[in-house]
Amino acid sequence: MLIAIIITVIGASTPILIAALGELVVEKSGVLNLGVEGMMLIGAVTGFAVTFTTGNPWLGIACAAFAGMASSMIFAFLTLSLSANQVATGLALTIFGTGYSSLFGQAFTGRPITPFRSIFPPELATDPVLRLIFGHSPLVYFSLIMVVAVWWFLTRSRAGLILRAVGENDLSAHSIGYSVIGVRYAAVAFGGAMAGIAGSCFPLLLTPQWAERMTAGRGWIALALVVFAAWRPFRLLAGAYLFGLVMTLELYAKASGGAFSFLPAELWASLPYLATILVLVLISLRRAGHSNAPACLGKPFMPAS
């Protein structure tokens, strides 16, 4: 039972972690994209449709990443090139993604696909302990690798230093010759691709069939998680698994009943979102001087003439 719970927590945490890592890079560049939920839904329906049609989940993930990146470019063009309001544009992207996935996914409702299997031999998953190491989908290992990769990129690479400089002081970065708009376009594209992959986790890892709005608000949790983690990748990993644990408790409460009957099933279902609200309230109570948010987050770039 314990091994099963841990594996369920890891699976439930993976899409949140992947989406949050992409958003972390976007926000480090000084851009606030609230369209994560919409991009995840676009990635989910694209990944499902391609996998259902071709039978190739790897191709489904690649197309989901491309679809997420393409949708993020709509946001980037409006906010970076046309200086539209980032909050309003992000919300519009979420509405667009929700409607697009509902319309495009109608033809696939209830149809199953073969989800990702472990890349390791099945014999390694027979032992409970080895199953914790070798019994996961490739998407789980990808999420863990990306935590280290994003940390290294932001703290050890020259490109990461430039991206952080753009997010902290865009005018200074522009004055020494860096393309603020170009860096932010690249960051938004990366965040969109990660959101698309995160969305594809739902049909390819968690629920091998299409259902409308199957992300169930996980994109909003990913957004809150970036703030909760103070824009640090390893804290993001811990926070994602914490939220995954809360969501897993909800699933076991619905399945088992007895051990969890002290709370109504509806309250268990709302716990991840209540935890998100609580986290945001606690963070808002911090003093402004203790915030680790990039200084230019959400502010349009206005170069001096």
**CB-based contacts of 60: which residues, under 8 Å, 6+ apart?**
46, 47, 48, 49, 50, 51, 54, 200, 204
Which of 6-20, 160-174, 281-295 comes out lowest in average pLDDT? 281-295
> How does pLDDT run across 223-248, given as a tens digit for each residue?
988 988 889 999 999 989 988 888 77
Please, what is the average pLDDT of the chain? 86
Residue 210's φ and ψ, nearest 5 degrees, are -90, 135
pLDDT at 200: 93
Instruction: Give the chain's domains with CATH numbers.
Output: 2-290 (1.10.3470)
Dist. CA 15–CA 278, nearest whole Å: 21
In percent, the amount of the chain with pLDDT more than 70 equals 88
Say yes or no to pLDDT of 25 above 60.
yes
**Cβ atoms of residues 53 and 184 within 8 Å:** no
In percent, the amount of the chain with pLDDT more than 90 equals 54
Q: What angle do CA 114, 57, 39 make, to 5 degrees?
A: 110
Say yes or no to pLDDT of 82 above 70.
yes
> How does pLDDT run across 125-137, given as a tens digit for each residue?
677 777 777 778 8
- C-alpha distances in Å from residue 129, one per residue of 32, 125, 134, 138: 41, 8, 9, 18
**CB-based contacts of 58: which residues, under 8 Å, 6+ apart?**
none
Give the residues across from 209 on adjacent strands: 112
> How does pLDDT run across 178-194, given as a tens digit for each residue?
999 999 999 999 999 99
Choice between 268 and 35, residue whose per-residue pLDDT is larger: 35
Which of 102-106, 134-138, 274-278 comes out lowest in average pLDDT? 274-278
Dist. CA 272–CA 250, nearest whole Å: 9
